[in-house]
Chains A and B, each alone.
Chain A
Amino acid sequence: MKRTISILVENHPGVLSRISGLFSRRSFNIESLAVGVTEDSTMSRITIVVDGSDYTVEQVEKQLNKLIDVIKLKTLEPDELISRELMLVKVAAGADNRGDIINIAKVMDAKICDITRTTMTIEASETTEKLDNMLEILRPYGIREVVRTGTIATQKGSDTINTKK
């Protein structure tokens, strides 16, 4: 099962390698990983999507917690999270099918952010599943390049990772 883990870490060099090293060393599978600074510039947030059993997820959590650089972490349950991923996809598009692609983008709430004689670049911010779906629909037109950020997520409602339960 896929699980999303949100991790607050010290914002200094070397932290990311400690975390990714831990995953490979303990053979945990990372589906995606995204990093960025937070409201507090001394902390970064890493969002990791892992695929594994409950046992694996528990181990991931515990091993991550052992790292001194990890300040706090939380596994976000599927029904309590809002997740997004940003994707840029360059599709082959000439005069004959530009209209089609514009329509697909519109239906999917995506934007055309660049256009050339032979290609169009679509920008979409969605859940991972919807992005996968969009790629399937675009595939017949010829996908030239896909760039994705990996999932970021937060919990629904007013609580944050810092809310004490």
Chain B
Amino acid sequence: MKAAQAMTECLKREGVKDIFGYPGAAICPFYDALVGSGIRHILVREEQNAAHAASGYARVTGKPAVCVATSGPGATNLITGIATAYSDSVPMVAITGQVVSELLGRDVFQEADITGAVEPFVKHSYLVKNAEDIPRIFKEAFYIAGTGRPGPVLIDVPMDVQNKEIEFSYPESVSIRGYKPSVKGHPLQIKRVISAIKEAKKPIICAGGGLFATGAREELRRLAETCHIPVITTMMGIGAIPTAHPLHYGMLGTHGRRVANTAVNESDLLILIGARVGDRAVTAPGTLQQRTKIIHIDIDPAEIGKNMEAQIPLVGDARIILNQILDAFEGDSCGGHEEWIETLNALKAKEPVQESYPDGSINPKAFLRKLSAHTEEDCVVVADVGQNQIWTANYFEVKKGRLLTTGGMGTMGYSVGAAEGVKTALPDTQVIAVCGDGSFQMQMMELGTICQHHIPVKIIVMKNNRLGMVRELQKNMYHENYSGVDLTGSPDFVKIAQAYGIESMRISRAEEEEKAVQTLLQSAGPFLLECDVSPEESTL
């Protein structure tokens, strides 16, 4: 079998049905084999989006998704997407073509040392030297990407290698002596967790993105309810427990809710689950670790003690560990947190809800609430980066669906590509991308992709004619010395959509919201809704 065909065969063995990519000379043998392989190829309009699409796909399927690019510029265009997936712990296999082996290192046309370049952003990478290694490498790549703390793995395949003839046999299992992720929590530590929870008067659970990676939403809810522990989330953890759950108190951090931050600061026990204590979530880990007892549950031992010391570290898979904890609580009740919960409830009730509508503008916060009221329970929303992201994070209500965003890298231009991936994986689910006018212009080309491949994602552009979040920073920290944040020159997005044959609409008054939301959600194809927002609208 030709090695290129072996590559597609490997993908099929891994259950891959859709891939996102962009061809070029060095990956042509693979593209040649793709025809008739049964694998659907979605042609993005720029490689970064292939990685974001794979990210969206992987985050909702829980399995590594695939993006493909050619050598040189194709591969380097992938880097931002790969780095984004890495910082958000998303399982991904990136395949790149490479110049022929014997010319490697000679700086020939479209040669880029991509394995070297992505080294800081991948869980692992391979430069394939022998075509016979392809089955083993693919098997390992999928295994590494999808197990332990998930992350991207890159496979760089020189063109001559793709053209070799090999005997194909796909390995049943992998054995990598340097990679043995631990899954179960240490029983002694579980005991310590139990007694810490029982002793605590003011416990709080902080749920991170790791809970989705292992599929532990149900376990989280059960733990919170069994032990009466309030839950807050990081940005990556939003939706780990339904937003409207009575024990949920919002997102913490720089752009989080006051009640969530107060809860952390006043707690006497902080249970971090699948959360890495990023600086946007916990600004002063040093003070916090002195004030409260910390249990840190994470699959990556390197995250424990990196940013904050934990009295009770617990390495392993969050779902398995939560089950261990729940089993240990079996039949045992755990209470005494009523006063604490009441305090938090009072704070939550006091949080101001901003409902004012400046002239000729949509109030994005109120709008997102309205949107939530109309979406289906399992709707997936992808928030881009900027004010639009924080509005969505704080005001969109997640029920059984998901809110996806890039918390780690904060890459503008994530949402449409990622939504494309989500919709491809879940064709029957409502998928909405919320972005800003700055970020939308970083990914506008993807309108072509969603038209060509009939991927009916709904896009909401919050148009404030500014790089709003940066503008707000300049307003508050740089004495309103606005610099480089005005987006004058932006096109009419409604017309842009029309040019692609995409249904679209613009709204600028509250009265128009209801109808717009319904039209958007009921439209059969893709839809673009532009919401005019005041540049003065605050993030929080």
Contacts and interface: CB of A to CB of B under 8 A. Distances in A.
Nearest to B177: A71
Contacts of A21: 119-120
B306 A59 contact: yes
A62 B302 contact: yes
Contact of A68 (B127, B176, B302): B176
Given A67-B178, A69-B178, A71-B178, A18 B119 contact: yes
Contacts of B123: 68
A14 B127 contact: yes
B413 to A, nearest CB: 25
A63 interface: yes
Nearest to B120: A25
Contacts of B144: 68
Interface string B103-146: 00000000000011001100110010000000000000000100
A145 B201 CA distance: 67
A10 B306 contact: no
A66 interface: yes
Interface residues of A, number: 20
B119 A66 contact: no
A132 interface: no
Contacts of A18: 119
Given A68-B144, A71-B177, A17 B116 contact: yes
A77 interface: no
A70 B119 contact: no
B187 interface: no
B120 A66 contact: no
Contacts of B177: 10, 71
Given A21-B120, A25-B120, A65 B115 contact: no
A21 B120 CA distance: 8
Interface in A33-75: 55, 58-59, 62-63, 65-72
Contacts of B306: 59, 62
Interface in B175-199: 176-179
A113 B305 CA distance: 50
Nearest to B181: A66
Contacts of A63: 302
Contacts of A25: 120
Contact of B119 (A9, A17, A58): A17
A68 B301 contact: no
A14 B115 contact: yes
A55 B144 CA distance: 27
B300 interface: yes
Contacts, number: 35
A65 B301 contact: yes
Contacts of A72: 178
Given A14-B115, A68-B176, A71-B178, A59 B120 contact: no
A58 B313 CA distance: 14
A66 B302 contact: yes
A59 B302 contact: yes
A63 B306 CA distance: 10
B192 to A, nearest CB: 20
- Most chain B CB within 10 A, of A17, A21, A59, A62, is at A62
Nearest to A66: B302
A69 B115 CA distance: 14
Contacts of A62: 301-302, 306
B310 to A, nearest CB: 13
Nearest to A61: B302
Interface string A122-153: 00000000000000000000000000000000
Contact of B300 (A10, A14, A66, A68): A66
Contacts of B302: 59, 62-63, 65-66
Nearest to A70: B178
Contacts of A10: 177-178
Contact of B305 (A58, A69, A70): A58
Interface string A68-88: 111110000000000000000
A71 to B, nearest CB: 4
Contacts of A67: 178
Nearest to A15: B178
A128 B99 CA distance: 45
A68 B127 CA distance: 15
Contacts of A58: 305
Interface string A8-22: 011000100110010
Nearest to A73: B178
Interface in B281-317: 300-302, 305-306
Contacts of A70: 178
Contacts of B179: 68
A54 B123 CA distance: 25
Nearest to A26: B120
- Most chain A CB within 10 A, of B177, B301, B305, B306, is at B177
Contacts of B127: 14
A21 B115 CA distance: 12
The 9 residue pairs across chains A and B that have the minimum distance between CB atoms: A62-B302, A71-B178, A68-B124, A68-B179, A71-B177, A70-B178, A68-B178, A21-B119, A25-B120
Interface of B: 115-116, 119-120, 123-124, 127, 144, 176-179, 300-302, 305-306
Interface of A: 9-10, 14, 17-18, 21, 25, 55, 58-59, 62-63, 65-72
21 contacts: A9-B178, A10-B178, A14-B127, A17-B116, A18-B119, A21-B119, A55-B305, A62-B302, A62-B306, A63-B302, A65-B301, A65-B302, A66-B300, A66-B302, A67-B178, A68-B123, A68-B144, A68-B178, A69-B178, A71-B177, A72-B178
Given A10-B177, A17-B116, A63-B302, 13 more contacts: A9-B178, A10-B178, A17-B119, A25-B120, A55-B305, A62-B302, A65-B301, A65-B302, A67-B178, A68-B178, A68-B179, A69-B178, A70-B178
